[in-house]
Amino acid sequence: MPGQSEDWNLPKSWNRKILQDWEIDRLLTNLEVTLQKRYRQSTRKDLLLGLLCGYSLKKIGQDLHKENAAVRAGLSNIYRDIEVLTGEANKSVKSSNLVYVLEKHGYRRGSVVATIQRRDIPHNLPAPTYTQFIGREADMKKLLERLSSVHGAHMITVHGIGGVGKTALVLAAAYLCLKASNENSSDAPKFDAIIFTSAKQQELIPTNSILWRQQGQRNLRDIFREIANALDDPTILQSPPNDQFDRVRQILSKRRTLLIVDNMETIEDRNEVIEFLYNLPICIKVIITSREQIALLPIRLRNLPQDDGLQLIRQQAEEKGISINDEDSKQLYDRTGGIPLAIVYSLGQLSGGYSLNSVLNRLTSATGDVARFCFEQSVQGIKGQPPHKLLMSLAIFPDSAILAAVAEVAGLTAAPDIVNNGLARLQQLSLVNLNPETKRFDMLSLTREYALAELAAYPDFEREARRRWVRWYLDFAHNYAGEDWEKWIHYNKLEPEEGNLRAVLHWCEDKEHYEAVRDLWLLLSHYANLYAYWDDRLDWLQWLIEQSERRGEWSCFVKIIVRKSWLLIRECSSVSLKEADKILRRTWVLRDHADLCVQADLAESMARLQIRQKDYKDARHWLTVEEKLVIEANLEERQHIRYFIPVLYHQAEIHYLEGEYLLAKKLFQEVMKSAEKISWHRVINSAQNWLADIAIEQGDRDEAQKLLIQGLTVAETTHNKRRLARYRRSLARWEKKWGSAEKAYQLSIKAIDGFKLLGMTRDAQEMQIFLDSL
């Protein structure tokens, strides 16, 4: 027979048609040459042919009269061999995709090596928490059918108890859709965007090997923010709150979108969110996961069937280096009830040194949910010890935390060895994860719920731990936040802590710890403004204004007004400028409650307001006032330079706006020299932008280009969003005058997006007019 070089050892019951469909001889030859292994005269050949027949492990074992364990080990080796032969990723080949992989690489008769046209659709899916998704074939099939465009379902719910694998199933389906969409294949429904939102502070994925950093979307506004971030569309957040739904609906209606809302039961404004989802266009598929059943085309997840549960046990045992026989695996499956999270954590306890009998006994005696089954024994064994304090302390952090912060909150900074050993013990017990890349500690949300319950049982410890938590972040902000002329070099350390900083602010607000909110926000405001983080900045400022006014703390009141006016003036709409004028004039009356430096800041805000209103005469008056206050303050040299620079800067700005380019150039050069003395790099970068604009106006093509390229590089490196938008605006003007109209168009679009993200309404409008003129 052509293509058959040996007699096959196939059982008669096997379908010999497989030899007609596949180029078996070439496949075996390539395997033997590549791997230097015998395939033809060994059981490897028979196992491979059994797979190509589509038979299950059990069927192959029966027909070959082999034990399941031997068949399983042989198949695992074959998968690895196929990966080496085809170049597929390590541990990517399995029984479910073996036929596809070999067909893709041309081993099916009549097939050709696939050429895939890729596209990258926008998505924000978190990384999978499993090396192989196990089971749920029927549920996956049902979910994919409902996600297809031909199915009438608009909203799909996946519900079940905590730890049953709702999120894992939905993410596995989403990744299939992502792959099909990127490769334009028909293996799964295709979408133009896939957006994942979750109300959990950490993903509730039953695994203990991969750290997830998922900041929760707890309400409709948070969901809108996540959609805006995923689609890189700032117009959603810049729309008035009452108009955001219509804006989201308008944007999503232009593309086929998969929107996932995870953990619906913990969303604050649940009815409002459901109403929003229900009224989305039909082109949008919505998946909701919840512990509570919602009557919206539900898919209910139950425990894993025995075969799948045992496969999960084997997978986890292999990953953790545990030896567990078939009998013990069956017993563990029975005691856990086939709940994936209970299986994963039970194997984690075994790897931490617990005996199987101990794990099984605690599982049967537990009275709570799956988390209690898994954690009670582990936590009971560390109570009263440093690991217990560390566990409760880490639970206070909604986002991942560095070792120093956890140690401080636990009150163990004086004992670094105890901290290291305690955290190592928690990792052994699968209660805590360490991200090897970021060196940050985290825990699953189910673990955190249990640990927070433990924390509540020790009110004295919780009170002190919360106090240390707030103090640690205040010290952290003192070290790395503050004014950008002094602390900008440390701002990169703030971003990983943003979720925890927000949590401190919210907790202190709830507990009416006004002083902590005040001190922390005053330190963070420059960072938040410079990098356009936290779209709720005005809300926090208003809260602080009201609280400081109620307490008669007028010095703080003046400081907060200055910061609020800064945002209002930057927005530069008629409404915001009117409000800024109102609050600044009222606050000027109270200026004597603040020190002279704050009064100088207040005068600067008055000058900035008049410049935006094009009242340059009054602006010059306020700059004169500001200059006198700076002189009167009698500051040391660096402080004097810092507070005198804004006077020069705004004087130069006025000259530019009045068309006096020579005077403007001279003053901006003075600004740069002064800023260099104190390493105020943001101002240097800003003045350089103005000098480039002056060069454009004066027709100095080469000088303008040099300044813009240098300045843009710095703005990109420092992630200064405001300066990025302004440099792109200037470069667009340069391209229009001397370069490419197409580049001018592209730069204009980016500048407009930047201005909108920053809430700079007038700048965005002016840039739109420029764009329309191209």
- 230, two tokens: 């995923």
Q: Is the predicted pLDDT of residue 361 greater than 80, yes or no?
A: no
39-43, 573-577, 697-701: least confident range? 39-43
Q: 544, 517 in Cβ contact below 8 A?
A: yes
Chain-centroid distance of CA 87 in Å reads: 31
pLDDT at 236: 87
The C-alpha atoms of residue 72 and residue 52 are separated, in whole angstroms, by 15
Q: What is the mean pLDDT of residues 298-305?
A: 83
Distance from the first to the final alpha carbon of the chain: 71
Secondary structure of 305-326 in HEC code, one letter for each residue: CHHHHHHHHHHHHHHHCCCCCH
Burial zone of 394 (CB within 10 Å; 0-12 exposed, 13-18 middle, 19+ buried) = buried
More confident site: 48 or 740 = 740
Residue 175 has which token pair? 């990744």
Is pLDDT of 367 > 70? no
Distance in angstroms (rounded) separating the CA atoms of residues 109 and 2: 13
Mean pLDDT of 111-121: 60
Task: Check if the beta carbon of residue 210 is closer than 8 Å to that of residue 129.
Answer: yes
pLDDT digits (tens, 9 = 90+) for 176-205: 999 988 887 778 898 989 999 988 654 333
Q: What is the pLDDT of residue 1?
A: 36
Which residues does 460 contact at the CB level (< 8 Å), separation at least 6? none
**Percent of the chain whose pLDDT exceeds 90:** 44
**Are the C-beta atoms of residues 583 and 565 closer than 8 Å to each other?**
yes
Rounded CA-CA distance 521/519 in Å is: 6
Q: Are residues 91 and 81 in contact, defined by beta-carbon separation less than 8 angstroms?
A: no
DSSP string of 88-146? PPTT---TTTHHHHHHHTT-BTT------------B-PPPPS-SS--S-HHHHHHHHHH
**Spatial separation of the C-alpha atoms in residues 153 and 149, rounded to whole Å:** 9
Tally Cβ neighbours within 10 Å of residue 143.
Answer: 23
Neighbours of 773 (CB within 10 A): 9
Alpha-carbon distance of 429 to 255, in angstroms, equals 45
More confident residue, 64 or 459: 459
pLDDT at 628: 97
Phi/psi at 186 (5° precision): -105, 20
pLDDT for 407 beyond 80? yes
Nearest CA-CA partner of 644 in 597, 585, 691:
597
Cα-Cα-Cα-Cα dihedral sign, residues 614, 616, 618, 624: positive
Instruction: Tell me if 386 sits within 8 A of 410, measured CB to CB.
Output: yes
Mean pLDDT, the chain, rounded, equals 85
Average pLDDT score over residue span 5-20: 51
Mean pLDDT across the stretch 4-19? Answer: 49
Q: Is the pLDDT of residue 206 over 70?
A: no
Residue 488 has pLDDT above 70, yes or no: no
Residue 411 CA, chain-centre distance (Å), reads: 30
- pLDDT band at 425, cuts 50/70/90? confident
The answer to whether residues 520 and 508 touch, using CB atoms and an 8 Å cutoff, is yes
Ranges 94-103, 120-129, 510-519, 697-706: which has the least confidence: 94-103
Residue 685 in this model has a pLDDT that exceeds 50: yes
C-alpha 585/C-alpha 602 separation (Å) is 10
Structural domains in the chain, CATH included, are 18-104 (1.10.10), 137-300 (3.40.50.300), 306-380 (no CATH), 386-457 (1.10.10.10), 658-774 (1.25.40.10)
Q: Using CA atoms, how far apart are residues 175 and 153, in angstroms rounded to an integer? A: 20
Q: Is the pLDDT of residue 150 over 80?
A: no
pLDDT band at 3, cuts 50/70/90? very low
CA distance 158 to 262: 9
Q: What's the pLDDT score for residue 11?
A: 52
Residue 344 φ then ψ, to 5°: -60, -50
Q: Please give the residue that has the higher pLDDT: either 578 or 90.
A: 578
Which of the 8 DSSP states describes residue 572? -
The confidence band for 212, taking pLDDT boundaries of 50, 70 and 90, is very low
How far, in Å, CA of 371 to CA of 341, rounded? 8
DSSP string, 33-72: HHH----TTSHHHHHHHHHHTT--HHHHHHHHT--HHHHH
Say if residues 748 and 767 touch (Cβ distance below 8 Å). Answer: yes
611 vs 267: which has the higher pLDDT: 611
Q: With cut-offs at 50, 70 and 90, classify the pLDDT of residue 440.
A: very high
* Angstrom distance (rounded) from CA 432 to CA 412: 17
- CA atoms within 13 Å, Cβ hemisphere of 365: 9
The region of weakest confidence among 132-146, 440-454, 717-731 is 440-454
In the prediction, which pLDDT does 712 show?
94
> pLDDT higher for 686 or 44?
686
Mean pLDDT throughout 95-117?
Answer: 70
Most confident listed range (91-105, 146-160, 634-648): 634-648
| Nearest residue to 95 via CA among 112, 129, 72 | 72
Say if residues 739 and 769 touch (Cβ distance below 8 Å).
no
The larger pLDDT score, comparing residue 287 to residue 350, is at 287
What does the CA dihedral 658, 661, 663, 667 come to, rounded to 10 degrees? 100
Is 326's pLDDT higher than 60?
Answer: yes
> What single DSSP character describes residue 304?
P
Buried b (16+ CB within 10 A) or exposed e, 468-489: bbbebbbebbeebbbebbebbe
Given this model, what pLDDT does residue 692 score? Answer: 97
pLDDT of residue 237: 85
Show Cβ contacts of residue 637 under 8 Å, excluding neighbours closer than 6 positions. Answer: none
pLDDT of residue 116: 47
pLDDT over 80 at 291, yes or no? no
Tell me how far the alpha carbon of residue 111 is from its chain's centroid.
41
SS (H, E, C) 142-155: HHHHHHCCCCCCCE
- Name 141's Cβ contacts closer than 8 Å, sequence gap at least 6: none
* pLDDT score for 71: 83
What's the whole-number mean pLDDT along residues 260-266? Answer: 86
